[in-house]
Amino acid sequence: MISRTQATLAAAFLSCALALTGCAAEVPSSAGDPPSTPDQSSDPASPEETESVPVTQEESCDWDTARLDSGSADAPSAAGDDFETAIIGAWQHTHIDSGAGYEPVKPTTDIRYVFPSTTTMLYCQDAKGATSQAERKVTVSLDGVEIIVPAPATGYAAVAWDGDTMVWENHRDGSLYLLKRR
């Protein structure tokens, strides 16, 4: 017959083995004690903190929402996390650098790039005197940091990004676009 001490040691051993493999909830420390509930606030590796949530973006130019103000031209200086994940979302073209430093896009021009996936882009443009809330859905592909768009467009290369800001080089003229997440 197994003694109470042996049962407690066996339960503790099993608990450690299962905890190391992530296969089971906490096992009681002794046969008569109820299982304890882990304190999620003190567990730095709780599932809520470590699981990534898939990024999603509605396929819409969202013209009901006002254009973002250009604001500051603070641009990231280096590549951030995974580009294919970072690009998913809606982006506002806020500044352009044609060689003389970043200048704000005219307040009468609203240019948005919406990426509901890594293979679809909505180009949204509302520019006084040129277009009125024009939308063009195109199939794109990514090759590393290159955004390949259908001809005759020349495409873009992501130069730097963080969670909310991105810099693209326009292959047509070498200018830099500063985009902010909408």
Q: How far is CA 175 from CA 43, 102, 103, 113, 158, in A?
A: 47, 10, 11, 17, 12
- Are 36 and 89 in a shared domain? no
- Are 45 and 92 in a shared domain? no
Counting the structural domains of the chain, the total is 2
Contact 96, 169 (CB under 8 A): no
- Are 176 and 103 in a shared domain? yes
**48 pLDDT band (50/70/90 cuts)?**
very low
Mean pLDDT over residues 39-68, rounded? 65
Q: Classify residue 55: in a domain, yes or no.
A: no
**50-75 per-residue burial string, b: 16 or more CB within 10 A, e: under 16:** eeeeeeebeeebeeeeebbebeeeeb
- Are 177 and 106 in a shared domain? yes
The residue segments making up the domain with residue 28 are 4-50
pLDDT of residue 55: 65
Question: Considering only 26-30, 143-147, 153-157, which range has the smallest mean pLDDT?
Answer: 26-30
C-alpha–C-alpha distance, residues 144 and 85, integer Å: 12
pTM above 0.85, yes or no: no
pLDDT of residue 28: 35
Q: Classify residue 22: in a domain, yes or no.
A: yes
**Joined tokens for residue 62:** 């969202």
C-alpha–C-alpha distance, residues 47 and 51, integer Å: 6
**Joined tokens for residue 17:** 């083995």
- Are 46 and 92 in a shared domain? no
Q: Classify residue 10: in a domain, yes or no.
A: yes
Q: Classify residue 132: in a domain, yes or no.
A: yes
